[in-house]
Amino acid sequence: IVEKVLSSHLIDGELRTGTEIGLKIDQTLTQDATGTMAYLQFEAIGKKEITTELSVSYIDHNTIQVGFENADDHRYLQTVAARYGIVLSRAGNGICHQVHLERFGRPGKTLLGSDSHTPTCGGIGMIAIGAGGLDIAVAMGGGAFYLASPKVYKVNLTGKLKPWVTAKDVVLKMLETLSTKGNVGVIVEYGGTGVATLSVPERATITNMGAELGVTTSIFPSDDVTRQFLKAEKREKDWIELVADKDAKYDRTIELDLSKIEPLFATPHSPGNIKTVKELAGLKVDQVAIGSCTNSSYTELVRLSKIMKGKTVHPDVSLGIAPGSRQVLQMLAREGYLADLIASGARILESSCGFCIGNSFSPKSGAVSIRTSNRNFEARSGTKDAQVFLSSVETAAAAALTGKVADPRDLGIDYPKVDQPKEFLIDDSMFIFPNTKASSSSEIFRGPNIGEPPRNSKLPERLTGEIMIKLGDKITTDHIMPAGARLKYRSNVPKYSQYVFENNDATFHDRCLKNKEKGVGNFILAGESYGQGSSREHAAMCPMYLGVKAVIAKSLERIHAANLVNFGIVPMTFKDPSDYEKIAAADKIEFTDIKKAIESGADHVVLKDVSKNQEIVLNLNLSARQRKIVAAGGKLNSLA
Ligand code: MIC
Ligand code: SF4
């Protein structure tokens, strides 16, 4: 399946594992937290209109609107969409991935989104990939999206899930099997007899959290189940069949018997720390949050309502529910399920990212919070010492009712049977469809929160400076560029830059700016899997603004490494990972021939540690195209 979709979209390179390929992108999506920069960069590129089949701009992340900043961003997004022929999904319409799956996802097509959970639409048979905003801007203008030709792992699903065990538990099992690191450059393709037992939203839960595996994307076949889903969305014409050939070959095959899976948790502070719910039974719970792009489909929330009906949320628990889309919320409301949830004491939250990104519903100090979302990184909930556990809706409901972790199979309730409706409620009135493909006369609103996209300077002959921070393994983009309450500064890079590594070392910003003023380069040193998590290009853009010249790590995650290149920061990895121990924070370092090494195609460069009088060899794992971008000081410069 992967090969079929990739080869029909290949516009540069050849499908040979590890080499760089360029893909034609059919659809793009953005959300408001990454979207403003994506569209500012689209404007900077200077194209008159989009050339994709469909581009949608969602307003779903920053809907809290404390202060004028988010409202400014939303107005900018609405007006820039009208100018260039982009569909706008207004605040209140739901979370981009859930809404895109419902209304726009099409099997066999490619989708590029400025959000790491874009692979959600892999559940409907798309090659759906997350990337930085600048890559989306280029794709909207007709440019290819470049990535390493992937390895393909097949997950052979057999059997059928037992009652109270869900698609969320399947993907948590995948995280236990593959972990959150070491999967860069892989696409996961699901197949086997178990596929037909999973609905499209269940498949989407599984592909959604492929982001946590660190794979490029995940994809399911497009079969009769897909057809029925599209039919219920009144989009049957968008269906095509997409199945693997019988003799298809894969780089690796993983067997997964659905009937053997049991309810699982990801425990603090990584989606890869998996334990069974049984192991943790009895742990006191303070908060339960249900929703996010991972688990907020109609069937799940109807089932939740049936579980909660006639009961009251435990007095020590605060239960929040954020339905993933307005379609789901409206259906729950019209069919009475919402009333039962309200009656149970649930706090109904807006149909948006909200609690998942920590911009609302933060738990109390030291709380145990059970969430159905996909990331439990430290401090992401907005409360640094909170312990966040990720689970299915069913496991979360059991905690909400009992006040402690409980295996939902022990609730003593019959598993509520809920089928996908024959027809979903179709109401597209919260989309603004552009009148003409491009309306050059419409004016673009720019409030004071809308800044200019920053640019880097060309790569100099040599780089000298200081290691500004030494970090451990699995540093996420939430560590680099905190979201939550800081999200509203996304369109204002000087302001947002004040918070780089805020939770690791609050002096980072000031120290970097001082060096930058003196012409001294700043360098980041990190362990394995640097840049996990979000696609936010701000995790490269803001360090670039602070004068960061290179990131030296044991390994780097795909989207973040690409973003570093896009902003002219050189990504480097250790030839010998044990050399990481030899360098310390505050070491003075230099790369005497960096420009030559980059431009000549050298696969390594020598770091001179002046403080310790030692030399360390670092890999330069860059394509010829990426070398040009880095030398130019970033993609915007290289396009000029
Ligand atoms: C996330 O889940 O971390 C986000 C917020 O959706 C990010 C995008 C962003 O930082 O705006 C993502 O996953 O890419
Ligand atoms: Fe929104 Fe959370 Fe999904 Fe990111 S992971 S898109 S913040 S719901």
Query: What is the arithmetic mean of pLDDT over 5-13?
Result: 98
Strand 186-191 to strand 151-158: parallel, antiparallel, or no bridges (unpaired)? Answer: parallel
Give pLDDT, residue 440: 72
First-residue to last-residue Cα distance in the chain: 37
Classify the C-alpha dihedral 455-457-462-467 as positive or negative. negative
The residue ranges of DSSP E strands in 353-417, in sequence order, are 368-371, 387-390
Res 438: pLDDT: 55
- Cβ–Cβ contacts within 10 Å for residue 494, how many? 13
Question: DSSP E strands: which ranges in 471-554?
Answer: 521-526, 548-553
**Contact status, residue 533 vs residue 478, Cβ threshold 8 Å:** yes
Strand order in the sheet with 217-219: 217-219, 186-191, 151-158, 252-257
Provide mean pLDDT across the span 351-366: 96
> How does pLDDT run across 157-173, given as a tens digit for each residue?
999 999 999 999 999 99
What is the average pLDDT value for the chain, to the nearest integer?
A: 97
pLDDT digits (tens, 9 = 90+) for 208-228: 999 999 999 999 999 999 999
Ligand 1 centre distance from Cα of residue 29 (Å): 13
- What's the 474 CA to ligand 2 centre distance in angstroms? 19
Q: Which 8-state DSSP code applies to residue 477?
A: H
Question: What's the gap in Å between 536 CA and the centre of ligand 1?
Answer: 6
Collapsing DSSP to helix, strand or coil, 331 comes out as helix
Size of the chain, expressed as the number of residues it contains: 640
* pLDDT value of position 640: 73
Ligand 1 touching residue 376 (CB < 6 A): no
Residue 55 bridge partners (DSSP): 28
Q: How are the residues of the chain apportioned to helix, strand and coil, as percentages rounded to the nearest 5?
A: 35, 20, 45
Q: Would you state the pLDDT for residue 437?
A: 55
Whether 436 has a pLDDT exceeding 80, the answer reads: no
Cα–Cα distance measured from residue 154 to residue 523, given in angstroms and rounded to the nearest whole number: 39
Measured in Å, residue 234 CA sits from the centre of ligand 1 at 30
Å from CA of 62 to ligand 1 middle: 11
Does any ligand 1 atom lie closer than 6 A to the CB of residue 490? no
Helix (H/G/I), strand (E/B), else coil: 136 = helix
* Site residues for ligand 2, CB cut-off 6 Å: 61, 95, 115, 117, 292-293, 353, 356-357, 373-374
Q: Which residue from 61, 53, 9 is spatially nearest to 30, judged by alpha carbons?
A: 61
Contact by Cβ (8 Å): 538, 479: no
Instruction: Point out which residues pair with 217 in neighbouring strands.
Output: 187
- pLDDT tens for each residue of 63-78: 988 999 999 999 999 9
3-state secondary structure of 179: coil
- Residue 265, beta-bridge partner list: 275
pLDDT class for 449, splitting at 50, 70, 90?
Answer: confident
Question: Whose CA is closest to atom 3 on ligand 1?
Answer: 534
User: Comparing C-alpha atoms, which of 284, 445, 295 is closest to residue 363?
Assistant: 284
**Residue whose CA lies nearest to ligand 1 atom number 4:** 534
Q: Is residue 379 within 8 Å of 503, Cβ to Cβ?
A: yes
Look at ligand 1, atom 7, and give the residue with the nearest C-alpha: 534
Residue partners of 382: CB distance under 8 A and separation at least 6: 358, 359, 360, 362, 363, 484, 485
Q: How far is residue 81's CA from residue 49's CA, in Å, rounded to a whole number?
A: 10
Tell me what the mean pLDDT of segment 378-406 comes to.
97
- Distance in angstroms (rounded) separating the CA atoms of residues 456 and 556: 21
| Strand arrangement, sheet containing 274-276 | 274-276, 264-266, 387-390, 368-371, 287-291, 318-322, 347-348
CA 87 to chain centre: 21
Cα–Cα dist 429/48, whole Å: 27
Please identify, by atom number, the ligand 1 atom nearest to the C-alpha of residue 481. 10
- Token pair belonging to 335: 């069919």
Nearest CA owner, ligand 1 atom 10: 536
Residue bearing the CA closest to ligand 2, atom 3: 293
Percent of the chain with pLDDT over 90: 96
Res. 434: pLDDT tops 70 = yes
Residue 117: name the closest of 209, 36, 27 by CA: 209
Q: Which ligand is nearest to the CA of 538?
A: 1
Residue owning the nearest CA to atom 2 of ligand 1: 534
List residues bridging with 318 in a β-sheet: 287
